[in-house]
Structure 1
């Protein structure tokens, strides 16, 4: 009887560097204020926040010599002159006409008929962001790229300097950025990350604010509404107002127990610490950050009533989400999605589903996502609904490395996606697609690199 030899499968090449920030809008990172992200020592600290005002629009104005002209990034004009897209950001000239982030390009055009539309070009903005980071690295050894257009610096070593010396330091940073990139920024210096960020917002655009003395902080920071603080959005602010808490001063005066009663012991305490400017967060390298959720959203350039095209968009969304999960080395078994209908009321539906276990492989996620959403898409089409946008995200990540008892990812699938990542990382993110993605919604988007 002949013995059968099993030749081991050849090792695949390393997938290479994952492009985890490609087409990703930054959201509030609560890790910035969480207890495990604070300095161990409680000594006073000093932070700088650099905000590249209207960054995307400013880059486009500089690149195309559009200075003084209202510019919207996130829209385009069709050959017949019809405008499409969603406003990602706008220049200050456009904002003066009432143009705001999130409104439709059509609304922006009605407010400002002479606006110039440019599509989002993340690669260009990322290149300028890297140049800004390189400039800031010459001013401090501790620089955090919070997003492409926001940076934090720890300058505790300058804590004993006078206000005039800190103002001069801030001016030097602003001038160095402008000399290298021809871009302007607003800059804030204060005793916590939160207050440095609030300080940079006080004089926009191209402002400089130093708030290190308690008297100055009480004058300029305390009167601000609580929803100016990161982590306090519309819904949380509504809950605070029901308790008579409107301003930062109100929050400080009432103490953290008031916040704990509304938001729970843990989150209420860290949220109050942020409001009070008592957070002493570490300025961290962006590469060390792992989000608690990973998501992808897309607004179509026009509506569709074809459920299979929407299904193709969800396949693309799952590919993006799973790609980022693999890049972070994380997995999830709980996901949620939304579909928005065409119309001014922004109606739609949400759904949730579970994968068979913790995974970051596309096939498991796509299968269970489509099983959940496709019947609902056909259901709503019967009632004449047309579809305009989708979103898919994890609801939580598996932050452990424990082996599951009843689920194992197939080895051949792991190797397949490792090979896909290698090709997409080396030759571009659209080198290898899922077959169903061919049934996506055709047309432009407000992202230049995704347009047809």
Structure 2
């Protein structure tokens, strides 16, 4: 095997990956400074750990652990219900800060971003490390959360860098040092390589990312499909994946789920949760002018046992009124009386552009047109007065009962702390940071 290190001495591209540290828990500590330095866990409404601060992680708490076990592992853990609206506002602010430095920002997830820094050294009169450091410091100063950053020649290498020294890490991987970061990295830790692919590569003696990167291109093309060929190029410092700055506008499927506490065995309430999932999914489908050809629904019990089914639709649609019939039939087949349920979910699958929907001779096109006008009006009302201003009667029991009784309920922290000039419908895109105006 060729033992020469990978040597790319210039910066043909400079890609930054930012990963917020324990994002949800960090947002809680930013909003509530008294929680800083303490083991904070979010997910009280779900009964399991949604996110854990690094103080909690240091005591052995990991995501997905039941809160019952958390109390055994870390008796002093501070467990709070999730406040997703506040987290999303922190996310928006974080991406806005990144765009001050570069227009090429990809919002990869709520707490991750890729940024193309190529060519910005001249504008900032300094190296890429300095630009990344300024980004990191600005976020930490303005939002009071920490982030970890990796900068390298490609997305895959940048992601390796951001994971290298968490939390609050800043890792630069220039071309001449790629081999240093890959030689001890297990191949399954590379972004995009799962356990099955890692097991396959292991049959050829490939255990580390460096061994994978050094394999001959003929081997890669012979045994691996295009996605893994692209990862191989990225590991060798050749940027294949672009930084995608456009918002996502197309989906293969749309899923909506809801966890509620306390768990319920009330059939009407559980179906109402499922109906609300359906309405939410359809709202998103209509926003992107998509129609579903398949409907998937599932119920999760308090013991984390799932039951679900998939239904093929007679006609592609994004109107809940078309789907409540199949939804009810599926629900009746999988729902069990006297069983406590904690989560419901709906997936609209087989999505296609609504312009491509073909109607048959048996379809009532007049009725379909009326539905279209009704839901166009509903969407306009919701846009003006807020989501769920108009909802189907099947979802109404959800609005009449608190989702997480005894906790924050459906009112996020941000809604309870309005800035001057705000009201419940018109609010600034700013998180609360214990500042009263």
Task: Assess, with a 3 A threshold, how the Cα gap between structure 1 residues 128 and 387 changes in structure 2: closer, same or farther.
Answer: closer
**SS in structure 2 at match of 1:75:** coil
Q: In structure 2, which of residues 64, 68, 89 is the aligned counterpart of residue 106 of structure 1? A: 68
Deviations 1:14-71 (A, max 9, x none): xxxxxxxxxxxxxxxxxxxxxxxxxxxxx93210112221122112112111211111
Name the CA distance, whole Å, in 2 between partners of 1:447 and 1:44: 52
Is 1:445–1:451's contact at 8 Å kept on the other side of the alignment?
no
- Residue aligning to 2:376: 418
Identify the residue that residue 220 of structure 1 maps to in structure 2: 181
Contact 1:312 1:437 (C-alpha < 8 Å) held by counterparts: yes
Instruction: Give a deviation string over 1:206-247, Cα, whole Å, max 9, x none.
Output: 110000224x22111353233333334455555655665543
Deviations 1:331-364 (A, max 9, x none): 2212323222332xx3322310122222111122
Question: 1:17 corresponds to which residue?
Answer: none
SS at match of 1:375: helix
SS at match of 2:17: strand
Residue in 2 that maps onto 1:281? 241
Partner of 2:210: 249
The answer (yes or no) to whether the contact 2:188–2:195 under 8 Å persists in 1 is yes
Deviation at 1:288, TM superposition (A): 4.1
Q: In structure 2, how many angstroms separate the alpha carbons of the residues matched to 1:447 and 1:308?
A: 23
Indicate whether 1:194 and 2:162 are aligned.
no
Deviation at 1:310, TM superposition (A): 2.4
2:430: which partner in 1? none
CA contact under 8 A between 2:193 and 2:228: conserved in structure 1? no
Change (3 A) 1:58 1:311: same
For residue 9 of structure 1, what is the aligned residue in structure 2? Answer: none
Other-structure match for 1:391: 345
Contact 1:338 1:349 in 2 (8 A): yes
Separation of aligned partners in 2, 1:56 and 1:88: 8
Q: Secondary structure at the match of 2:250?
A: coil
The aligned length equals 393
CA drift of 1:410 comes to: 0.9
Contact 1:256–1:273 under 8 Å retained in 2: no
Residue 202 (structure 1) shift: 0.6
Using the size of structure 1 for normalisation, the TM-score is 0.77
Q: Which has the higher contact order (CA 8 A, sep 6+)?
A: 1
> Which residue of the partner structure matches residue 12 of structure 1?
none
Partner of 1:61: 29
Q: Which of 31, 45, 48 is the aligned partner of 1:86?
A: 48
Residue 91 of structure 1: CA displacement?
Answer: 0.8
* Cα pair distance change 1:330/1:199, threshold 3 Å: same
Q: Distance in 2 between matches of 1:302 and 1:336?
A: 24
Q: Quote the Cα distance in structure 2 between the aligned partners of 1:335 and 1:222.
A: 46
Alignment of 1:70 onto 2:31: no
* Partner Cα distance (1:204, 1:445) in 2: 36
Aligned twin of 2:261: 301
Q: Offset of 1:192 from its aligned partner?
A: 0.9
Shift of 1:72: 0.9
User: Would you say the 8 A contact 2:293–2:316 is kept in 1?
Assistant: yes
1:153 Cα deviation from its structure 2 partner: 1.0
Q: Secondary structure at the match of 2:100?
A: coil
Provide the C-alpha distance between the structure 2 equivalents of 1:416 and 1:314, rounded to a whole number of angstroms. 22
Using the TM superposition, give the Cα deviation of residue 165 of structure 1 relative to its aligned residue in structure 2, in angstroms.
2.3
1:360 aligns with 2:321: no
| CA distance in structure 2 between the aligned counterparts of 1:427 and 1:322, rounded to whole angstroms | 18
Correspondence for 1:428: 386
Equivalent-residue separation in structure 2 for 1:451 and 1:397 (angstroms): 32
Deviations 1:391-423 (A, max 9, x none): 221333215732404255711211222222222
Q: 1:130 aligns with which of 75, 78, 92?
A: 92
Q: How far is 1:266 from its partner?
A: 4.4
Q: Distance in 2 between matches of 1:254 and 1:362?
A: 52
Shift of 1:289: 4.4
Aligned-partner SS, 2:137: helix
2:283 is aligned to 323
- The runs of 5 or more residues in structure 2 that have no matched partner are 1-10, 413-437
Distance change in 2, residues 1:299/1:167 (3 Å): same
RMSD of equivalent CA atoms: 3.2
The 1:132/1:445 distance shift into structure 2, 3 A limit, reads farther
Residue pair 1:98, 1:111 contacting (<8 A) in 2 also? yes
2:308–2:334 contact (8 Å) kept in structure 1: no
TM-score (norm 2): 0.79
Number of the residue aligned with 1:334: 294
Q: In structure 1, how many angstroms separate the alpha carbons of the residues matched to 2:133 and 2:406? A: 35
Q: Show the counterpart of 2:396.
A: 438
Q: Give 1:187 shift.
A: 0.9
Q: Does 1:174 align with 2:136?
A: yes
Change (3 A) 1:69 1:398: same
What SS does the aligned partner of 2:335 have? helix
Quote how far apart the aligned CAs of 1:374 are. 1.5
